Amino acid sequence: MLRFLKYFKGFEWAIIVLLILLNVGQAILDLTLPEYMGSIVELVLAKATISEVVVEGLIMLSIALGSILLLIISDFIASILAARYTMRMRGLVFNKVQSMSQATMNNFTTASLITRNTNDITQVGNALSMGFKIAIYAPVIAIMALLKIINKSAELSVATAVSIVALVLLIGIIFGFAVPKFSKIQKLTDSVNGINRENLIGLRVVRAYNAENYQKDKFEKTNNNLKRENIIVGRLMSVLNPVMTLIMNGLSLAIVWISAYLISDNLLDIPTMTEFTMYAMQVVMGFLLLSIIFILVPRATVSLKRIYEVLDAKETIFDSNANEKSINNENLQENQQSGNLNNLVVTSENKDCPIVEFKDVCFKYPDAEQSVLNNISFKCYKGQTVAFIGSTGSGKSTLINLIPRFYDATSGEILINGKDIKEYTLKNLHSLMGYVPQKGMLFKGTVKYNVDFGENNLSDEQIEWALKTSQAYDFVKKMGGLDAEISQNGSNLSGGQKQRISIARAIASKPPICIFDDSFSALDYKTDKKVRSLLQKEMAESTKFIVAQRIGTIKDADIIVVLDSGEIVGIGKHEELIKNCQVYQEIANSQLSKEEINATIKK
């Protein structure tokens, strides 16, 4: 639990010290009030003048105002402390998620990560802003008030002690039942967010299949579970205030009743009784405030645990600290923007070295029993186009996701420029690549922002070149040019338009390696052919990897790799594979006419 303290910085420790001083000062001021109240009662009983009573009353009022002022200042700086702390924690969680490998990310759901970085951190912030000052003020006032009354009357002290014991037992019983519920509530919040997110993303599918009632029932079931747990906790907490009020009023009644006997026997005077009553209420109030801590801290503890699970998630892919001789990080962007790829990848020492080479690569997902890829070996050179084709689930996307190290190979080696990719820093490795995922992902912002994504700092001319090459320039111009707005996830664009802008983003910096993961599937045949033709011409220096389902998309590739059940069953050109690879022949028979196949065979 105390781990959270290490995330405070220098200035915040100064705020914490100031908070302690302010709350201790407030407690001391509050503890002087009973003394002045006793003094006023004594003056009234002694039939003092009005002016003497007024003077004591004004001093008491000044102390009360001073206490209120300290409380206001304390609340203000506590909110600053909480805001700064939660901002830092959100940044840490966000940056951790940004740096997670795909394998690590799979240990969490998207909804859970969103909840942890919003709701959980908010719980911690609430506990910090409200709980921190209470945690200082309540013990101080309770202990000091106890010390004030402990020698005044043994009988009244016993009554106070009984009330405190009853209070502690009540708090213990309630929170013994409530604390386990807090963890369950946060998990159910994850589920509600997950269902909400799933429903919003798949809204068209839900409507197309008239599945609104099914989704509604699923949401209501989880929502009712969350409601039930919240009601249980709410009912438990609702017992707290009335019972505490009963204990406080019962203690006041007990003090007055016992004091009546003591005063009649001349063992106690009225001013002392008045002081004792106020101090006893302060003791009980201290414990009452501590009960608020017991509400905030368990929830914050559960939330902190969930946050730490993200921050402590073990990475499976680590950055390399090796000296990268073939890549100079200082001139990386300059070389990319100028289109001078020779200095980036192929040096004079290794000009005959393959750009990318797979050596007996195998891969299986974490906790999986069977490998997805087995004994994958091939090599390609500068400027070549390498295509991957195979049935669904054959491992095409998994294979190319190993190149940018979204996953690490279970065994074998992947070399770029003759060097294992694990020897590159992830930043430099990714700077060598343009990547288009299966599902075109666009961000809210302008077309220019989406194409010039990352740290490329491209000129308008370079962006326009990329858009023209990807056949996106015409519709972008109709939208309003480079400053045209794109909605979140590109919801104001068609599937083909999103793919073309995604392709433009991948090629804009002219990277040495381009990866297209089934990124031509939403294009019509004419546009597909034109884009591939322009890529071959404009990106002649780049090595291109293409995953596709259509033979028409890949038949002009320099190397075609045919996958089946995670193994290479054929490798070569279109003309070679259609003659001697059965799997490729089956795909060709399903997509091409007999005339086209026969014409290819005769070549």
Cα 394 from Cα 200, distance rounded (Å): 30
Three-class secondary structure assignment of 477-529? HHHCHHHCEECHHHCCCCHHHHHHHHHHHHHCCCCCEEEEECCCCCCCHHHHH
Q: 422: Cβ–Cβ under 8 A, 6 or more apart, which residues?
A: 320, 405, 408
- The average pLDDT across 173-197 equals 82
Q: What is the pTM of this model?
A: 0.73
What pLDDT sits at residue 200?
80
The reported pLDDT for the residue numbered 376 is 92
Taking residues 13-19, what's their average pLDDT?
91
For 73, 413, 435, 566, the CA distances from 378, given in Å and listed in that order, are 69, 11, 20, 14
Sign for the CA dihedral angle at 55, 61, 64, 70 comes to negative
pLDDT of residue 22: 92
Give the per-residue pLDDT at 377: 93
pLDDT confidence of residue 512: 92
Instruction: Tell me how far apart the 2 most distant CA atoms of the chain are, in Å.
Output: 126
Is 181 a residue whose pLDDT tops 90?
A: no
Average pLDDT value for the chain: 84
Q: Mean pLDDT check: name the lowest of 18-22, 116-120, 299-303.
A: 299-303
pLDDT at residue 179 is higher than 60 = yes
Percent of residues, the chain, with pLDDT higher than 90: 22
β pairing state of 385-390 and 559-564: parallel
The whole-number pLDDT of residue 193 equals 84
Q: Does residue 348 surpass a pLDDT of 50? A: no
Contact 386, 548 (CB under 8 A): no
Phi, psi of 337, rounded to the nearest 5 degrees = -70, -30
Q: Does residue 443 contact residue 488 with C-beta atoms inside 8 Å?
A: yes
Work out the end-to-end distance of the chain between its first and last CA atoms, rounded to an integer number of angstroms.
73
| Region of poorest pLDDT, from 126-140, 185-199, 343-357, 468-482 | 343-357
Among 193-202, 377-386, 412-421, name the one with the lowest average pLDDT.
193-202
Cα 441 vs. chain centroid, distance in angstroms?
19
Residue 98 structure tokens: 């940004």
Task: Report the percentage of the chain scoring pLDDT > 70.
Answer: 93
What letter represents residue 491's amino acid?
S
Three-class secondary structure of residue 349 per DSSP: coil
Q: What does the alpha-carbon distance between residue 158 and residue 156 come to, in Å, rounded to a whole number? A: 5
pLDDT band at 495 (very low <50, low <70, confident <90, very high): confident
pLDDT class for 283, splitting at 50, 70, 90?
confident
Q: Structure tokens of 213?
A: 């009632």
Tokens of 27: 């407690």
Beta strands per DSSP E along 300-355: none
Rounded to 5 degrees, what are φ and ψ at 419?
-125, 140
User: 512 and 355 in contact (C-beta within 8 Å)?
Assistant: yes
Res 220 pLDDT > 70 = yes
Please name which of 562, 554, 588, 560 lies closest in space to residue 572, comparing C-alpha atoms: 560
Q: Lowest mean pLDDT: which of 161-165, 173-177, 568-572?
A: 173-177
Distance separating alpha carbons of residues 476 and 473, to the nearest angstrom: 5
Is the backbone of residue 574 left (phi > 0), alpha (psi -120 to 50) or beta? alpha
Domains of the chain plus CATH, in order, are: 2-311 (1.20.1560.10), 346-432+511-567 (3.40.50.300), 438-509 (3.40.50.300)
What is residue 341's predicted lDDT score, i.e. its pLDDT?
42
Block residue for tokens 């040019």: 481
Q: What pLDDT, on a 0 to 100 scale, did the predictor assign at position 91?
A: 92
